[in-house]
Amino acid sequence: MTNQTDFHMTPDQFRYWGKKIVDWIADYHERVEQFPVLSTVKPGQIRAALPAHPPEHGEDFGQILQDVERVVLPGITHWQSPNFFAFFPANVSGPAILGELLSAGLGVQGMLWATSPACTELETHVLDWVVEMLELPDKFKSTGPGGGVIQDSASSAALCALLAARERISGFKCTRAGLTGGLVAYASSQAHSSIEKAVGIAGLGRDNLRIIDVDDKYAMRPEALADAIRRDKASGLTPCFVCATVGTTSSNAIDPLPEVGRICRDANLWLHVDGAMAGTAAVCPEYRWIHAGLEFADSYCFNPHKWMFTNFDCDCFFVADRTTLIRALTIMPEYLRNPASLSGAVTDYRDWQVPLGRRFRALKLWFVIRHYGVDGLRHHVRNHIQWASEFAQWVRSDPDFELVVPPPLNLVCFRHRAGDEFNQRLLQAINETGRVYLTHTRLSDRYTLRFCVGQTHTQRHHVERAWHLIRETASALHMNA
Q: What is the pattern of x (binds its own copies, CB under 8 A) and - over residues 445-464?
A: -----x-----xx-x-xx--
Among 62, 66, 68, 289, the residue binding its own copies under the rule CB under 8 A is 68
373 touches its own copies by CB under 8 A: yes
Q: Judged by CB under 8 A, which stretch of 37-45, 227-235, 397-405, 468-476 contacts its own copies? A: 37-45
Residues 46-65 that bind its own copies (CB under 8 A): 46-47, 50, 53-59, 61, 63-64
Pairwise CA distance, residues 253 & 22, whole Å: 39
82 touches its own copies by CB under 8 A: yes
Residues 382-421 that bind its own copies (CB under 8 A): none
Q: Which is nearer to its own copies, 259 or 274 (CB)?
A: 274
Q: Which is nearer to its own copies, 57 or 479 (CB)?
A: 57
Pairwise CA distance, residues 312 & 165, whole Å: 26
Q: Within a 10 A sphere around the Cβ of 231, how many other Cβ atoms?
A: 13
Pairwise CA distance, residues 204 & 38, whole Å: 37
Residues 226-285 that bind its own copies (CB under 8 A): 249-250
List, in order, residues 6 or more apart from 453 with CB less than 8 Å away.
85, 384, 385, 387, 388, 391, 410, 411, 412, 463
Pairwise CA distance, residues 73 & 315, whole Å: 27
9 touches its own copies by CB under 8 A: yes
List, in order, residues 6 or more apart from 220 with CB less than 8 Å away.
187, 188, 190, 212, 213, 214, 244, 245, 255, 256, 260
Residues 123-142 that bind its own copies (CB under 8 A): 124-125, 129-130, 132-133
Q: Which is nearer to its own copies, 261 or 378 (CB)?
A: 378
179 touches its own copies by CB under 8 A: yes
194 touches its own copies by CB under 8 A: yes
Among 144, 171, 258, 355, the residue binding its own copies under the rule CB under 8 A is 355
Q: Judged by CB under 8 A, which stretch of 225-233, 267-275, 327-335, 386-394 contacts its own copies? A: 327-335
Q: Judged by CB under 8 A, which stretch of 25-33, 212-220, 238-246, 384-392 contacts its own copies? A: 25-33
Helix H or strand E encompassing 441: strand 439-443
Give CA separation, 448 vs 253, 406, 418, in Å: 14, 13, 12
Q: Judged by CB under 8 A, which stretch of 151-159, 386-394, 415-423, 468-476 contacts its own copies? A: 151-159
115 touches its own copies by CB under 8 A: yes
Indicate the SS3 state at residue 74: helix
476 touches its own copies by CB under 8 A: no
Among 139, 291, 384, 440, the residue binding its own copies under the rule CB under 8 A is 440
Pairwise CA distance, residues 41 & 184, whole Å: 43
Contact yes or no for 304/365 (Cβ under 8 A)? yes
Among 62, 75, 171, 258, the residue binding its own copies under the rule CB under 8 A is 75
CB 12 to its own copies: min, Å: 8
**Longest Cα–Cα distance in the chain:** 75
Contact yes or no for 412/403 (Cβ under 8 A)? yes
Q: Which is nearer to its own copies, 37 or 259 (CB)?
A: 37
Pairwise CA distance, residues 341 & 308, whole Å: 33
Among 66, 144, 145, 176, the residue binding its own copies under the rule CB under 8 A is 176
List, in order, residues 6 or more apart from 147 with CB less than 8 Å away.
124, 127, 140, 141, 318, 319, 322, 347
Q: Judged by CB under 8 A, which stretch of 218-226, 254-262, 363-371, 393-401 contacts its own copies? A: 363-371
Among 234, 235, 236, 334, the residue binding its own copies under the rule CB under 8 A is 334
Q: Which is nearer to its own copies, 222 or 322 (CB)?
A: 322
Pairwise CA distance, residues 479 & 393, whole Å: 25
Pairwise CA distance, residues 309 & 100, whole Å: 12
CB 357 to its own copies: min, Å: 5
Q: Which is nearer to its own copies, 56 or 216 (CB)?
A: 56
Q: Judged by CB under 8 A, which stretch of 224-232, 258-266, 323-331, 414-422 contacts its own copies? A: 323-331
Q: Within a 10 A sphere around the Cβ of 47, how many other Cβ atoms?
A: 10
